[in-house]
Amino acid sequence: MAVQSVESSTTSSTSASPSGAFGPAVALSCRECGERFELGPIFACEACFGPLEVAYELPAGDPEGLRRRIEAGPNSIWRYAPLLPVPADVADLPSLNPGFTKLVKADNLARELGVTGELHIKDDSGNPTHSFKDRVVAIAVQAARTFGFTTLSCSSTGNLAGAVGAAAARAGFRSCVFIPHDLEAGKVVMAAVYGGELVGIEGTYDDVNRFCSELIGDPAGEGWGFVNVNLRPYYGEGSKTLAYEICEQLGWRLPDQIVIPIASGSQLTKIDKGLKELIAIGLVEDRPYKIFGAQAEGCSPVSTAYKAGHDVVRPQKPRTIAKSLAIGNPADGPYVLDIARRTGGAVEDVNDEQIVDAIKLLARTEGIFAETAGGVTVGVTKKLIEDGLLDPSLTTVVLNTGDGLKTLDAVAPTTGPSAIIRPTLDSFREAGLA
Ligand SMILES: *Cc1c(COP(=O)(O)O)cnc(C)c1O
Ligand SMILES: [Zn+2]
């Protein structure tokens, strides 16, 4: 029924989408009251102001056929086009083609952490702009194109700004992105190098986000698609591809436990959505899985609420080296609490020192240099095992969502040459390195 109402209105309205632009997606639905809306550049429910998400009529009845189709698809997120709000020919359109990153079996790290089951790192630093944000932006760009936006924008904690700048350059959009003015140099340079406009705002991410919401309501923001604000329902769907890839790379099997970093909480909630879809379609066996959320102690509104047994998340003022996760007022916080509790997971946090230690532990054991967000997930995994909340005998996947080269400052003070010597063997021996 939803299909009919969407299709009949697209033919009569000039602003609506050409048929097929959103693939299997049929509507936007309110997460709070379930009210349905036509697919459009809207993000809040008119009835209750709840957040909107994409609703589908997913391919049913032939899981084997769908699995073969996916496996024959491109080595990018577009292999999952039948499960995303994108046109069937999406792989032919200009895009950075993110995704299909490595799932690394982390046996050395497992040994150090006392894990006897399988431990995997899903290493999303391998994306085109070296963070998981390329996934979400790629879907938002498709929606922006369909809605006729000409400028791509976002409020960013750093990685998103670079992902939007790069995607806009490839897809032929103007871009203008907003960040807190005091981010890491690696993130600022990455966000600026693609040639779009980059604006530093004197304030926290939450101030940047508030500013962007004002800009959307102003004539100055006309024609602007903010990937994580007015395109947020589409943007969020990109994170489902992490769930799809993990299961496919495990041989179409659900992991028992996943450890996911939390900024706004969007990624965590959509990974859960993706896993539920795979079960519903019949692509994986229906078994329980546990979802664990990871935060930095210096910005831990969700883990604080989790530990206190609260349903609401009280905003915090961030102070942490994990700047990519520094959202003090996370939009999806309450949904993260629901998911952690429903699946039997937990939400935990680690301090800056533990983050640095975990970055070095992952680098030393597996040769993966994570950004601070990866230090958060690895550090939280260690803590969860020590506290008996994560079962070391099961299959666990830990996300690394970004590249250590963008957050060098975190490890630079405690990482450097073992010695500086003259170019002579004597000098080498004197340094005790022989
Ligand atoms: C944005 C980001 C996240 C998670 O963001 P959500 O807002 O929770 O979806 C995780 N890791 C890195 C490195 C990020 O940049
Ligand atoms: Zn509603």
Terminal CA-CA length for the chain = 75
DSSP 299: B
**Longest pairwise C-alpha distance within the chain:** 83
CB 36 within 8 A of CB 27: yes
pLDDT one-digit tens code per residue, 14-63: 334 456 999 999 999 999 999 999 999 999 999 999 999 999 999 889 99
407 lines ligand 1 (CB under 6 A): no
Alpha helix (H) residue ranges in 42-132: 63-71, 107-113
Spatial separation of the C-alpha atoms in residues 284 and 81, rounded to whole Å: 18
CB 228 within 8 A of CB 238: no
3 is written with which tokens?
Answer: 């299909």
261 Cα nearest atom in ligand 1: 10
CATH top class, domain 133-235: alpha beta
Q: What is the reported pLDDT for 388?
A: 98
Residue 25 bridge partners (DSSP): 56
136 Cα nearest atom in ligand 1: 9
Q: What is the pTM of this model?
A: 0.94
- Mean pLDDT score of the chain: 94
CB 100 within 8 A of CB 127: no
44 is written with which tokens?
Answer: 């809040």
Separation of CA 2 and ligand 1 centre (Å): 32
Sequence-ordered strand ranges (E) for 240-390: 257-261, 290-296, 347-350
Give the start-to-end residue ranges of the domains of the chain.
2-92, 102-128+239-414, 133-235
Phi and psi torsions of 320, nearest 5°: -155, 155
CATH topology match: 102-128+239-414 vs 133-235: yes
Spatial separation of the C-alpha atoms in residues 378 and 396, rounded to whole Å: 12
372 Cα nearest atom in ligand 1: 13
Separation of CA 402 and ligand 1 centre (Å): 9
Q: What is the reported pLDDT for 60?
A: 86
Distances (CA, A) of 12 to 9, 17, 20, 138: 5, 11, 16, 28
228 Cα nearest atom in ligand 1: 7
Which amino acid residue places its CA nearest to atom 4 of ligand 1?
263
For residue 109, how far is the Cα from the chain centroid?
Answer: 23
Q: What is the reported pLDDT for 434?
A: 85
Which amino acid residue places its CA nearest to atom 7 of ligand 1?
264
Separation of CA 267 and ligand 1 centre (Å): 7
* Residue among 219, 238, 218 at smallest CA distance from 227: 238
262 lines ligand 1 (CB under 6 A): yes
* Residue among 81, 78, 72 at smallest CA distance from 95: 78
327 Cα nearest atom in ligand 1: 7
Ranges of residues in the chain with a pLDDT under 70 are 1-19
Return the amino acid letter for 276. K
Spatial separation of the C-alpha atoms in residues 255 and 336, rounded to whole Å: 18
Q: Can you say whether the dihedral through the CA atoms of 399, 404, 406, 410 is positive or negative?
A: positive
Which amino acid residue places its CA nearest to atom 11 of ligand 1?
401
98 lines ligand 1 (CB under 6 A): no
Separation of CA 54 and ligand 2 centre (Å): 13
Residues with CB under 5 A from ligand 2 (ion): 30, 32-33, 35, 45, 47-48, 50
Architecture of domain 102-128+239-414: 3-Layer(aba) Sandwich (3.40)
Q: What is the reported pLDDT for 18?
A: 55
CB 53 within 8 A of CB 28: yes
- Residues shown for the chain: 434
